[in-house]
Chains A and B, each alone.
Chain A
């Protein structure tokens, strides 16, 4: 067991245990353990296999970028891929396995890939496997080997909430600098939100202690002050995942995403410790010193018994003292530097008191694995000679990379500060501040002072649009970063990127092949493209690149930083999800009547009404017959419904639609086409004039919202004072159609429905069944009919009243399919079906609807240009011989002499005419032919007889009721 004695402040609760299995072996940890700490406490060393070579790996950072300790967690009801063992708590009784193995962690059958590594140079997959014949086979093999965890295809939809938060100052990172910044900001009265990904405040102040109480004491003082400050709200176990425009920061809490809008933001995210690059630096047991310190103090786990610290800064010396104070044996502190700095020198005295020797000017040669595959020996060179030291742990403390992702995302620029061998902020955008290690402050006192400065600035600049000057980097006594902690070995295996298994030579060879700039290097070598996104590798790779080119470090920028900071589950991003669904007030009535639904924009409409034991076709045919011979009722309430008010409303509509409305008589309606500026048809509708200064008109269902908005823009632009009211949701509408419609309607109203009083195309307002209605006598389906518009709340009631009144006349509700056939029989086009995204108004053979002699309408000038050119396509009607029922489908092609000469836009078997009829958009050069060839399913061709349309009642006598009168 590697569990250490109890320590005040440890994150585990020793009174409660958690049991799970790892690779089928039972594991017991404490409440508060992570998967990896529970394993480490039991003495485990190997936690996973690497991505490419399947090398055994332990943990590296313990800071949520340890890709090699990713696990698959199988629990009740779901199996979760890519769970990061270093930070995720084990689920009780779950089955945990390492993700990237074949046949288990111990006996991974892909381990042979490690021995093939010399044959798998950087970008090897670009260099082979691409014979056209064999690539598919190779690819299948790759697809079997790659990937990390396994998606549980049976997992159910998980819905996480989203929350919003607002604050004056958002402080990201609750180490000493962030705590200090939060306090400084709050002390001036600002509302502060402090976010940290860890479960406790304090950051490295809790674990980088140098074996004493003083750092901890100072940190705890800050923590207590923060907790006592009512103006600071603290969000723990939550990481900021992205920095977006105008200080909009997404924070990922365990079970929710919090979207934070801040007035200013302080970045105090510190720095990621970076590995030393030498052969065997990936062996289990070799880790970052900060990872070890986290284990010692947070989880009271000893990651080794006897360690060597490989260092180049005072932080390494401190870590050695921490190891010693927690009872580990420190075999040696191996300093890469010839002369340790002053802070190190101070700590060296303490080390020697504890009997720990310090060796300087060390060059690591390799870490050597023992029988269990984890580190057993560290070989190094000092002076002229080679030495070795037997250890079961090597802690690397050679420097840091600033956690500057959000600074980049916010548009800051960075510069290389050679005094500390680190990138620091050069220019920050307005409202953004950086403090602590990310800004180059390392000493505890300096970090606290820097935080205070940033916190104060963040408040002082609230509301300002200009950035303040960037604070100068605080002078340090000792440089925390080694300029080049990279030690090549002839046999390689010095890892730069642990996610992607990239060694020094991979970086150098990529450079040699011409990928010698940061972005190209990343893309060719996949450096930094793994799940940790280069947090532990980008900096060293950049150093190797600069050295290879002979450039100074500052000559190359880091690769572009993009969200996510840590990977974010899609469930968090998705949240609950909203899909608006609109229903007309008669929705429940339709359902009762057996409606079969179809979507119409975000509405649903009855496609037809199912009848027991009757086929779909027959049901639709019956609906068509009802309208032609008796009476039918259809819900058309999804149409856009708009009122335009004002003395110039007619002029306004004249400019929008192709027909003329300023001369429309009160009480009458007129059809209109709406075009875009290039003459393409975008919508149509019926415009009614209710009073001299009030028009009421419809748009198609899908366009209602955007067109209503566009009308507002046009009125603004043209300077025409017109009041526009969107009544789409306020009004229900249905169409009562068929020769018996008047008889039905007359039972429900006292209005004079005679042709004289209410002629074809008229609009009237009056009471129907006591409900105030607008009635339009329009003929889309080609029969006597009334489109009835009424307030939403009476929709269902009147619908039922009309059906009731129609019972004696055989009334049937009809759906969209029947309406489509009815209008097709009349040859009426459906915009968007018989036209497409490029059909202009000259192409649908409707000159009656287009008044080119008006002063202006949208698209008119373009139509004038188009009128001088030959038509590109034209709409024709067609029919098939009586008795033929095999018919083409919509969008089957018209083929003439082997070339495409158009397409069928609408087609159906007309119950009224007893034959197949349809419309086609065709090349004008074939429109005059008596017959056209259509290519149906499976290439079978059929003949269509070109015919005039409307197919049914071409004179329009029925809708005008001339036959009946």
Chain B
């Protein structure tokens, strides 16, 4: 029993203040307005205050803190990407993650579990080797391993996958981790709040105003359902709602929105230690500290701006789960849900400055945004504070499509999450 829990038993008054101050009114102007109080938006707010001393900031959230994809993802954290841009970016994120619980004084349950991306074909194995080699080049622990190593690490798995898709090997990424997703938003939110940043929940952006600065359009304000705000800088971190925000400032993008669904089982005694991903079988699974199996699959097949659930998702995911883990037939699925993933053509994010002066984007996070939360906060706060793209995100600009300078992350195709 840690000593710090003693105080809860020794006082009648619950000795914890609010994590987030409630602000009844919006101010008429802020130095920076952040749209979206998910992990990314709140992380940017936190680092704006902590690292750049900018605290006259409002974070506007249509719903509640962490209620979008932050609270809907399957919490996997890894840095085993394919491109130099990607690996270095996510590796910085993993480094930040590892200290976050202590930085926040909030237990995020950041749990290093090891991450297997299974290969069922030679072609997939080539990709795993490619990723492993690029990772190692940048000092990231990844190895292409054979089927036996997979079996040794997960002895209960049927590595023939029901005979349909035998595992031939895997990419093993030892730093692969999971974390308690909601707490990440709360930790960043609390940290930002304590440094004087205002978080406004149930505050919807209705329009974004621009003026001609002489050298093109520039941000001048934001209209919300609670009134107008003057500001010269807007950071947009709204995942599935990004296209709508872009249309408010007259920008277009390659972003398209598909739902990503997930489901969770009843708690059972922990038996699965690592995170297992199979691109071919469209399965990723890990077991939480509560004993629940958190499971996901691939994107829904068509565009949708809603978070409805489908039965066929649970059917095909369960079918594939049982091919890998045939003994799970009696384990029950308790809940399913969905988030809206903002996808890009090259599977890399769209970040940084835009043609609108003072309008900064943190988007295109598709199915992989959670793991990038800390580094997005870091790099976007730098970008907003200095009006210069952070060096780690220069490859991720919106203008790369116009220039045909797509990142190569899609080279790995089919392997997401």
Chain A residues close to B by CB (< 8 Å): 51, 78, 80-82, 116, 118-121, 124-132, 135-136, 139, 142-144, 146-158, 160, 242, 244-245, 248, 250, 259, 409, 505, 508-509, 512-515, 517, 519-520, 523-524, 531, 533, 562-564, 567-571, 573-575, 577, 579, 581, 598-599, 678-679, 832-833, 836-839, 862, 865-866, 869, 889-893, 895, 900, 903, 935, 939
Contact = CB atoms under 8 A, between A and B. Distances in A.
A862 B329 contact: no
24 contacts: A81-B269, A119-B9, A126-B106, A128-B107, A132-B102, A135-B110, A151-B331, A152-B327, A160-B329, A508-B14, A524-B182, A531-B267, A562-B335, A563-B335, A567-B266, A567-B334, A568-B314, A569-B329, A570-B322, A573-B314, A579-B165, A837-B411, A838-B346, A890-B126
Nearest to A411: B308
Interface centre among B22, B127, B335 (most CB of A within 10 A): B335
Interface in B151-203: 156, 162, 164-165, 180, 182-183, 186, 201
Interface of B: 1-2, 4-6, 8-9, 14, 16-22, 63-67, 71, 84, 98-99, 101-102, 105-112, 120-123, 126-127, 129-130, 133-134, 136-137, 156, 162, 164-165, 180, 182-183, 186, 201, 265-271, 289-291, 308-311, 314-315, 317-319, 321-323, 326-337, 345-346, 404, 406, 408, 410-413
Given A81-B268, A149-B269, A890-B126, A119 B1 contact: yes
Contacts of B66: 523
Contact of A531 (B9, B180, B266): B266
Given A120-B5, A151-B268, A151-B271, A838 B20 contact: no
A892 B129 contact: yes
Interface centre among A130, A153, A515, A570 (most CB of B within 10 A): A570
A157 B5 CA distance: 45
A242 B107 contact: no
A838 B410 contact: yes
A259 B17 CA distance: 49
A574 B5 contact: no
Given A520-B64, A577-B322, 19 more contacts: A126-B183, A130-B105, A147-B267, A148-B291, A149-B266, A151-B268, A155-B329, A157-B162, A244-B310, A505-B14, A562-B337, A567-B333, A570-B265, A570-B328, A579-B323, A598-B121, A599-B120, A836-B411, A838-B346
B327 A573 contact: no
A564 B336 contact: yes
B5 A832 contact: no
Contacts of B14: 121, 505, 508-509, 512-513
B107 A127 contact: yes
B64 A519 contact: yes
B133 A149 contact: no
A939 B139 CA distance: 12
A526 B406 CA distance: 42
B224 to A, nearest CB: 18
B311 A893 contact: no
Given A150-B269, A573-B315, A129 B2 contact: yes
Contact of B327 (A128, A139, A156, A160): A156
B240 to A, nearest CB: 16
A116 B20 CA distance: 28
Contacts, number: 287
A148 B201 contact: no
Given A82-B266, A128-B4, A562 B336 contact: yes
Interface centre among B16, B22, B318, B329 (most CB of A within 10 A): B329
Contact of A245 (B1, B271, B308, B315): B308
Given A119-B9, A121-B14, A892-B129, A147 B290 contact: yes
A569 B411 CA distance: 37
Given A121-B14, A893-B133, A242 B9 contact: no
Contacts of B314: 563, 568, 573
Contacts of B2: 128-129
Contacts of B67: 519-520
A922 to B, nearest CB: 14
A687 B412 CA distance: 29
B268 A148 contact: yes
A658 to B, nearest CB: 18
A599 B121 contact: yes
Interface centre among A121, A125, A513, A520 (most CB of B within 10 A): A520
A570 B269 contact: no
Nearest to B332: A567
Contacts of B9: 118-119
Contacts of B410: 836-838
A153 B290 CA distance: 19
B311 A131 contact: no
Contacts of A158: 329-330
B20 A514 contact: yes
A156 B6 CA distance: 47
Nearest to A410: B308
A111 to B, nearest CB: 16
A569 B334 CA distance: 9
B181 to A, nearest CB: 9
Nearest to A512: B14
A82 B134 contact: no
A132 B99 contact: yes
B268 A891 contact: no
B19 A513 contact: yes
Contacts of A903: 130, 133
Nearest to B347: A837
Contacts of A599: 120-121, 165
Contacts of B16: 121, 127, 509, 512-513
Contacts of A135: 101, 107, 110-111
Given A146-B289, A513-B19, A127 B331 contact: no
B20 A523 contact: no
Given A135-B110, A157-B322, A570-B322, A78 B330 contact: yes
Contacts of A136: 112
A558 to B, nearest CB: 14
A216 to B, nearest CB: 34
B311 A598 contact: no
B89 to A, nearest CB: 15
Nearest to B22: A514
Given A118-B9, A891-B130, A903-B130, A146 B267 contact: yes
Given A128-B5, A599-B120, A900-B134, A865 B404 contact: yes
Contacts of A149: 266, 268-269
Nearest to B18: A514
Given A120-B5, A132-B99, A157-B162, A148 B329 contact: no
Contact of B311 (A151, A248, A517, A869): A248
Given A153-B156, A512-B16, A570 B107 contact: no
Contacts of A571: 318, 322, 329-330
Contact of A250 (B182, B269, B311): B311
Contacts of B156: 153
A575 B315 CA distance: 8
Contacts of A139: 109, 111, 289
A156 B345 CA distance: 42
A215 to B, nearest CB: 34
Contacts of A562: 309, 335-337
Given A523-B66, A891-B126, A574 B329 contact: yes
Nearest 9 CB-CB pairs, A to B?
A: A147-B291, A571-B329, A567-B332, A157-B326, A130-B107, A147-B269, A573-B318, A891-B130, A158-B329
Nearest to A832: B123
Nearest to B328: A570
B334 A935 contact: no
A574 B267 contact: no
Contacts of B413: 836-837
A679 B17 CA distance: 57
A129 B108 CA distance: 10
Contacts of A121: 5, 8, 14, 16
